[in-house]
Amino acid sequence: MDDQFDKDLKKRIREVFDNYEDDSADKGWALLRKKYPGKAKKYPIAWMWWSSAAAVLLLFLGILWFKQSPEKQQQHFTVIKKGSHNKQPVKTSGTTNDQNAVDNTAVQQPDHTLANATDHKTPVRLRVATTPNHVVTSSKDQGIFASNVRTKPAGKTPANSPIINDQNNHSPAANSSVNTTTLASAVKPTDTNPENPSNVAKPGTENLSVSKSNATAAAPGITLQQPDQLNKQLLANNKQDSKQKGLSKNNLVHFGIYAASYLNYAKGSSSRFNVGAGFSADINLTRKLKVSTGIAIAQNSLSYPGQPVFSTPAGINMAPLALYSASTLQYSVSEPSFRNYSANLVGIDIPVNLKYTFDPGKSETYLLAGLSSGTFIDETYTYSFSNSQAQSQSAHGGFYFAKMLNLAIGTGYRVGSNRLIIEPFLKYPLDGIGSQQIRFGSGGVNLKFSIPSQRR
């Protein structure tokens, strides 16, 4: 009896709940969404978070890299500059007559013989890092890394140091040029003058410096230098050449983009905050003087509360007011009074400025002055009256030429390989501009982001 009851009850329960319908799914889903936002919403936030983190990291690494690389370049330059008294590249040709070049780079030992000098025309690059001793003569005009040259008593020279046999019986004077590869393996130190300890250098002396007398006596043109040093010197010389030549082609024009936030001002108008953006190009005239030009789009708005400024030379066109008054008088005994006048102008500004940089390459602080020309792509003048009516008028004032004086002072900060320039500026109107010849100016700050020239 009970079993049957239980079976019937179980059957009934299953039957009822298998077919259970509930129409509150929407409410249930809404509740679930409070706990479960879903990946669709989470994903962009996560993406933004990670991309922001990546951007910050890249920026940080960029700054780090940028801070380090100029130092390295500067170090290279400094080292080379110490060694090379002349600003000319290393000349390896045996035909050179430049005494300085010989002094700095040419190595010739009267006691040394360089074997296997088969190619007399090949410039020499001598790898001598493994040589235990180099016989050098002291000189008051030592070559590259001359300060590193340390003398060593001749007695410490290994007695069994291999002596390079001059198989060709080349005298030093005749040894004008040596094949690099053969030299790298063939040159071994020989101390043939043990009575002259000052002529012996330590193995660490990587560079072979030469006395003037030896260099003079040497055959012209044997230049022995480590490849690294040579490369450094070449690099430095290239840079120096660039400097000497002045500004390279890449540095002739610098481009930048900028955003401006400023207040428009005019006589009788309340100041209005506006923004603009533009593209700039700085053309180098000299190292410190540039012509700065570009193009910008800028919003300008002015608001004249109360009575319009009739006396303003750049007078507001009151024709709409007159028309309005005439028409409304037909219907109204009391003429509505003028309440507000506003002008909104979206302009294209083309400045031509002279830019004087005080300390180029350092803080890049500069002073800028010039004139702006331009036009307005949209001019809207709105007249408001006391009865809450307003009348708008659109116009186009044509192109104006050099009617705005630009004054600015700016300073730059390095941001990675780029430069962020903060440039407070003032635009002073020299005459009325726009279709209603309003004389207005602006003052604010440009945030300029210079686009770096392509590096070579």
Partner 1 sequence: MRPPNRIAEDELIQQCKSGSLRYQELLYKQFYGYAMSVGLRYCIDRDDALEVVNDAFIKVFNSMKNYDTAKPFKAWLRTIIVNTAIDRRRKDFKLQLNTDLNGAEYLPAHTNVIDTLNAQDILNLMRELPAIQLAIFNLYEVDGYNHDEIGVILNIPASSSRVYLSRAKEKLRKMIKTETQNHG
Q: Give the footprint of partner 1 on this chain (CB under 8 A).
A: 1-2, 4-6, 8-10, 12-14, 16-18, 20-22, 24-26, 28-29, 31-32, 35-36, 38-41
* Closest to partner 1 by CB, 4 or 334: 4
CA dihedral for 322, 327, 333, 338, sign (positive or negative): negative
Q: What one-character-per-residue DSSP string does 353-365 give?
A: EEEEESSTTTT--
The residue among 24 and 311 lying less far from partner 1, judged by its C-beta, is 24
Q: Which is nearer to partner 1, 42 or 87 (CB)?
A: 42
Is 17 strand, coil or helix?
Answer: helix
The minimum distance between CB 45 and partner 1, in angstroms, equals 14
Taking the complex as a whole, the smallest distance from the CB of residue 15 to partner 1 amounts, in Å, to: 9
Q: Is 237 in contact with 84 (CB distance < 8 Å)?
A: yes
Q: Which of 245, 233, 279 is nearest to 260 (CA)?
A: 279
Report the length, in residues, of the chain: 456
Residue (14 or 82) nearer to partner 1, CB: 14
Smallest distance, partner 1 to C-beta of residue 26, A: 7
3-class SS at 301?
Answer: strand
Residue closer to partner 1, measured from CB, 5 or 310? 5
Angle at 357 between CA 356 and CA 361, to 5 degrees: 155
Cβ neighbours around 170 below 10 Å, total? 18
Two tokens, residue 43: 């994903």
For partner 1, which is the closer residue by CB, 8 or 378?
8
d(CA 127, CA 146): 17
CB of 32 to partner 1, least distance (A): 4
Tokens of residue 314, six digits: 């750049």
Q: Which is nearer to partner 1, 33 or 67 (CB)?
A: 33
| Shortest distance, position 53 Cβ to partner 1, whole Å | 23
CB of 50 to partner 1, least distance (A): 17
| Minimal distance, residue 7 CB to partner 1, in Å | 9
Name residue 414's beta-bridge partners. 419
Q: How far apart are the first and last CA of the chain?
A: 99
